């Protein structure tokens, strides 16, 4: 799609480097808006003054340098990549022709695991990391589904989680729990599995 992603936050470079490494490397630039503090965020009207950090916002800028889309997103939720891809296709139909969208997934081809404890997660989500540690500490077997990778899994989570890609989300023998609450997960496991 002839597009370049540029990330920016108020973190300073060593912090961004450490974070990128913890995620297994990020191949697009993460820019540091640290000094002067939040200057670029202010230029773009997305600096949250009292907290000293920026909004979670996406700007799509076309090839001539014009802003074509602005999403000042709910700061607690991850924006949907599919939405941004759609915007890019609309903004640059020529590039869209050169990189056609993948065919929609045939619902019959979607194979999501069922049975036991299934955790829908991502590589980077801190809640998922806590859940993994908790499962290990309690010797609980579980199956992971990476919603960034497994076809149909992100849509499944959106159906369960009010249209958002909230992780971790659990499917414990049919009991769906959105977000990691030790108590609730423990109870569901006791009820559905270890009985």
Q: CA separation (Å) from 80 to 54, 57, 84, 113, 153?
A: 19, 12, 7, 23, 13
Considering only residues 114-153, where is the footprint of other proteins by CB under 8 A?
122, 124-126
Instruction: Give whichever of 75 and 110 is closer to other proteins, judged by the CB atom.
Output: 75
Q: Binding of other proteins at residue 156 (CB under 8 A)?
A: no
Q: Binding of other proteins at residue 44 (CB under 8 A)?
A: yes
Cα–Cα distance for residue pair 47/52, rounded to 1 Å: 7
SS3 call for 176:
strand
Cα 43–124–56 angle (5° rounding)? 20
**How many alpha carbons fall within 13 Å on the CB side of residue 158?**
12
Q: Binding of other proteins at residue 33 (CB under 8 A)?
A: yes
Contact segment (CB under 8 A) with other proteins among 19-27, 103-111, 152-160, 181-189 equals: 19-27
Instruction: Give whichever of 113 and 127 is closer to other proteins, judged by the CB atom.
Output: 127
Q: CA separation (Å) from 177 to 4, 39, 58, 124, 166?
A: 36, 40, 29, 19, 10
Considering only residues 78-97, where is the footprint of other proteins by CB under 8 A?
78, 84, 88, 91-92, 95
Q: Binding of other proteins at residue 65 (CB under 8 A)?
A: yes
Q: Of these, 24, 49, 50, 66, which contacts other proteins (CB under 8 A)?
A: 66
Cα–Cα distance for residue pair 55/129, rounded to 1 Å: 24
Q: Binding of other proteins at residue 155 (CB under 8 A)?
A: no
Q: Binding of other proteins at residue 74 (CB under 8 A)?
A: no
Q: Of these, 37, 43, 83, 138, which contacts other proteins (CB under 8 A)?
A: 43
Q: Binding of other proteins at residue 30 (CB under 8 A)?
A: yes
Cα–Cα distance for residue pair 124/22, rounded to 1 Å: 8
Q: Binding of other proteins at residue 178 (CB under 8 A)?
A: no
108 CA to centre of own chain: 25
Contact positions toward other proteins, by CB under 8 A? 1-11, 13, 15-20, 22, 26, 29-33, 39-46, 48, 51, 53-70, 75, 77-78, 84, 88, 91-92, 95, 122, 124-126
């Amino acid at each position: 799609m002839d597009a370049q992603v540029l990330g920016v936050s108020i973190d300073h470079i060593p912090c961004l480097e450490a974070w990128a490494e913890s995620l297994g490397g990020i191949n697009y630039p993460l820019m540091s808006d640290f000094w002067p503090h939040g200057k670029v965020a202010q230029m773009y009207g997305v600096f949250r003054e009292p907290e000293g950090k920026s909004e979670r916002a996406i700007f799509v800028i076309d090839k001539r340098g014009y802003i074509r889309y602005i999403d000042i997103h709910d700061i607690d939720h991850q924006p949907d990549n599919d939405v941004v891809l759609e915007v890019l296709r609309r903004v640059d139909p020529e590039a869209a022709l050169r990189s056609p969208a993948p065919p929609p997934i045939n619902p019959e081809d979607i194979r999501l695991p069922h049975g036991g404890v299934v955790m829908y997660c991502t590589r980077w989500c801190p809640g998922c990391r806590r859940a993994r540690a908790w499962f290990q500490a309690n010797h609980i077997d579980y199956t992971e589904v990476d919603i960034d990778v497994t076809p149909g899994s992100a849509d499944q989570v959106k159906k369960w989680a009010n249209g958002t890609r909230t992780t971790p989300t659990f499917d414990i023998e049919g009991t769906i729990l959105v977000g990691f609450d030790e108590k609730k997960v423990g109870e569901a496991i006791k009820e559905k599995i270890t009985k």
